[in-house]
Chains A and B, each alone.
Chain A
Amino acid sequence: MSAKSSERAAFLALRICGYAVAAPILLILGLLIVKGAPALSAEFLLSAPRMGLKEGGIFPAIVGTVILVALAISVALPLGVACAVYLNEYAGDSRLTRLIRLSIVNLAGVPSVVFGLFGLGLFVLFLKFGVSILSGSLTLAFLILPVVITASEEALTSVPKSFREASLALGATKMQTILRVVLPNALPGMLTGAILGVSRAAGETAPILFTVAAFYLPRLPSSIFDQAMALPYHLYIVSTQVPGASETVKYGTALVLVSLAFGLNLVAIIARNRIRKQRKW
């Protein structure tokens, strides 16, 4: 086979690889939209499940997921930003920073179900928070911490060094420089990191299995020590544990979950681009 024709064959194979990756996702999204869209009514979104989860809506699961994710990010974001500021602005290349970086990488690799075990051991049982929103959202916060740290650090690196030098030269202290110059300029990137974390937390099931998730609750949670329903767990339940659950409930839940995850990503991207446009450098 000549060099030219083997090149043609190889390129064709690689192109097939590329599109073979793209094809399933388009099919999946298509399927979810076709089968799930008819389920999306105000009633489905705003009412509770009925008939042993076989019929009815998913309102409590939506509320549960929103609360869990909001609490998780409000813990993970300050921690993640502080960690990134320390690594990028204060610490040089010391043994401690290498240890921190190593643990971030390893934390990112810990299986999500192991985070669930950890949450059960530490929050639910040892600290006696019980199976509760508090336990679940703290578990999720630790799970998404590596995502937030990595994105925040990237955002800090992208702030030009001259900004810091100019601020210090004007007599500002290091703290003032970080709070008034570096962080505001790094905000867009950090925002993206936060939203990526939120979308990850919204879709995770394994970490909430034993820390917060409830099969079915007739009422909405009233405090952070209550259990809550959550969208991913609800999808797992209706698609495997409830024989005879209606197609609309299953596909509708899946579509809402996927739209939430994608919608968040989209918001992140739009917000980031808008802030970027205002930049002068």
Chain B
Amino acid sequence: MERNTAIVKKSAGVKRKTARFKEFAWEKSIAVLGSISIVILALIFLFLVKDGIPLFRHVGVAEFLFGNTWRPISEPPVFGILPLIAGSIIVTLAAAAMSVPMGVGCAIYIAEIADPRAKEFLKVVVELIAGIPSVVLGFIGVLTLAPFVQEMFDLPTGLTAFTGAVVLAFMAVPTIATISEDAIYSVPREYREASLAMGATRWQTIYKVIIPASSSGILAASLLGVGRVIGETMVVMMVCGNAPVIPNTIFQPVRTMTATIAAEMGETVHGGDHYMALFAVGLALFAISFAINAAASGAVRRRGAGA
């Protein structure tokens, strides 16, 4: 009898030990898997550096960043990315000039003005836009918007920076509208009530109380929208005309940094100068997206401190 209890006790102890070990192993593996995103981000940076930086053994950094000629396959090749940066900046600024007012206006309408049915409808629409693959928007842009732009402004080609900016503005609206909407919803109800009780109209309340109170969230939303635009590839490659020169007006073809990588990588020799130059362009894009994210979270943090 006594012996039996001893055995039972012993096996219970073993069981408890294996259970504890299982628990330990599980917790550790979750922690390791949990850190995977740090690893991936570090790997992305590492591989961009590994394949991009060796370019600067042959090409000066200033020459690369500020050279105004991009002729990667002429002999000798010239790798100045200024035209590509200019292309990205022109398209992005033009798109932002259209999509920020539209997106914020749309957010205000949804959050403050629309009746419940219009609100539901527009929310679904905004979600739908976010769900359209960018290559489809590029396709529609080439087929419908480009001929329209060409005819309207009497241009030699409809594939211009402006055309790309219009499509990109449309694509950025969901990002800007949803994040701005969240910022507007987070304004305390008392603010609205106090303003209305003082005799302000709804519009006065919106632009004197609600917009200022949610301005940092709206700023963050706009920055993230800009980030979306500057990183977009397929639309600009299909719609912007792909000419790697600094344009004089917005109605000329341009080529952005993203489009250059996508269009040229297929023709490069792996490990050659051109290949490395495209990775260096990728590194520059990576740095830009980092900076935009930092600025956006900086804007949000400021709001946190102010409230």
Whether A associates with B in a native complex is yes
* Residues of A near any B CB (own CB < 8 A): 3-4, 6-7, 10-11, 13-18, 20-22, 24-26, 28, 31-32, 78-79, 82-83, 85-87, 90-91, 96, 99-100, 103-107, 109-118, 120-122, 125-126, 142, 145-146, 149, 173-175, 199, 202-206, 209-210, 232-233, 235-236, 239-240, 250, 254, 257-258, 261-262, 265
- In the complex, are the beta carbons of B108 and A14 less than 8 A apart? yes
Which of chain B's residues has its CB closest to A261's CB? B131
- In the complex, are the beta carbons of A28 and B140 less than 8 A apart? yes
Which of chain B's residues has its CB closest to A26's CB? B125
Alpha-carbon distance between A87 and B131 when the two chains are bound, in angstroms: 27
Closest 9 CB pairs of A and B: A203-B133, A86-B34, A111-B231, A17-B105, A82-B33, A7-B203, A121-B47, A18-B109, A206-B233
B290 CB contact (under 8 Å) in A85, A99, A106, A112: A106
Interface class of chain B by DSSP: helix
Which of chain B's residues has its CB closest to A88's CB? B34
A25 CB contact (under 8 Å) in B125, B261, B290: B125
A117 CB contact (under 8 Å) in B127, B140, B278: B278
Q: B243 CB to closest chain A CB, in angstroms?
A: 15
B173 to chain A: which residues have CB within 8 Å? 21
Is residue B265 contacting chain A, with contact meaning CB distance below 8 A?
yes
Alpha-carbon distance between A118 and B139 when the two chains are bound, in angstroms: 26
Q: A223 CB to closest chain B CB, in angstroms?
A: 23
- In the complex, are the beta carbons of B38 and A99 less than 8 A apart? yes
Alpha-carbon distance between A24 and B136 when the two chains are bound, in angstroms: 13
Given contacts A18-B122, A21-B122, contact A13 B135 (CB under 8 A): no
Alpha-carbon distance between A29 and B234 when the two chains are bound, in angstroms: 19
A115 to chain B: which residues have CB within 8 Å? 44
Alpha-carbon distance between A173 and B24 when the two chains are bound, in angstroms: 11
Q: A238 CB to closest chain B CB, in angstroms?
A: 9
- Please tell me which stretch of B3-11, B113-121, B149-157, B187-195 contacts chain A, meaning at least 4 of its Cβ atoms lie within 8 angstroms of it: B113-121
A22 to chain B: which residues have CB within 8 Å? 121-122, 125
- In the complex, are the beta carbons of A206 and B262 less than 8 A apart? yes
- In the complex, are the beta carbons of B101 and A17 less than 8 A apart? yes
- In the complex, are the beta carbons of B143 and A239 less than 8 A apart? yes
- Please tell me which stretch of B66-74, B247-255, B279-287 contacts chain A, meaning at least 4 of its Cβ atoms lie within 8 angstroms of it: B279-287
Alpha-carbon distance between A115 and B224 when the two chains are bound, in angstroms: 18
B227 CB contact (under 8 Å) in A24, A109, A118: A109
A83 to chain B: which residues have CB within 8 Å? 33-37
- In the complex, are the beta carbons of A122 and B47 less than 8 A apart? yes
Q: B181 CB to closest chain A CB, in angstroms?
A: 11
Alpha-carbon distance between A125 and B204 when the two chains are bound, in angstroms: 60
Is residue B270 contacting chain A, with contact meaning CB distance below 8 A?
yes
